Structure 1
Amino acid sequence: MWRDYFPRGVIAGLDINPVDIQDPSGRIRVYQGRQQDKACLDRIAREVAPDGFDIIIDDASHIGQLTRISFWHLFQNHLKSGGYYVIEDWGTGYWKSWPDGHEYSQITLKSPWSIMEYLAREKLGLKSFEVPFVNGYQKRFPSHDYGMVGVIKEIIDECGMGDITHEQYGTPPFRPSRIKKMHISHGLVIVIKA
């Protein structure tokens, strides 16, 4: 499918299991290995895209820690500036039945003024609530810390790095984001490298 969609592209595939694809065009190269094996990823990049990949699609394990390793390694070292990094099926992080998933639990507030009061009191260093709330929901729920949702949260943090390290409002020294744009939809994240 990718070979036909990208008529001039060289397609590299990585799978934990052996894969045999008959490709008369010679543009598909299949490797066996694990997505978190940085040496394997480096070898594939050297052989297929020595100047960097234009597009990387992660439709692999959907396990947060493995995706985290391959994303940051490939994004920083082997994706071209302006290149696309696509992560599929990140919503598994909300599935309590998934190996590293965590069920989402919603907690609502009775009044938007409670949110404003919390934010004002937090700014002054005063205790307002046991659990911080924003927009009527818990500010941070457990799936932010691990699993696929945790990985996406890390990428969002990188997207906001300019604000995180803002000289006046953040924690300097300033560092711009390495992300130009990020699109999030149901089960799909597209990150464009700056």
Structure 2
Amino acid sequence: MSPLPLILASSSPRRLTLLGQIGIVPVQVLSPDIDETPRRGELPRPYAARMALAKAAALPSPDHLVLAADTVVAAGRRILPKAETAVQVVESLRLLSGRRHRVLTAIALAAPGRAMQHRLVESVVTFNRLTETQIARYADTGEGIGKAGGYAINGHAASFIRFLSGSYSGVVGLPLFETAQLLRGHGWDLP
């Protein structure tokens, strides 16, 4: 019996690229329309899990698997937003400069007739101390716009990373080991 086809519930091109890296091609890529505002006092781990579950639940399908993910950059108990402007990129990088932070990526997999499954992967990233010139030049690239914490580890910001412990693909936006494990549990024959 063939596994159910997969819908990727994400507007992130990085997640689609990561899936392709392990040979997975979703039949559809849809962007769920949910409110991503953190609740008052909500901590980063529960927030990431809630967002991934809500995204998967927003696109129910009777004959497909639905995979969703959410990535959160946390400085202590603080959730750093997805940077919408160059000013927010600068603010995030100033905060992360010379300091350790956590990147939490939650994944959720919805299957017809089964309880939703989810995993949360936590990675620790340490930035080198950044100069104002480095921060300004990075902000000028536009690469940090739309990214949690205002940076993309798979781009120019890779030169800022002094230490990484955890899942590199999770920091990019989709922890591939955990994703593959969930899909194997639903009949996907992955390498």
Is this a same-fold pair by TM over 0.5? Answer: no
Greater relative contact order, per chain length (Cα 8 Å cut-off, separation 6+): 2
Could you state the TM-score of these two structures normalised by the residue count of structure 1? 0.25
Q: Which has the higher Rg, Structure 1 or Structure 2?
A: 1
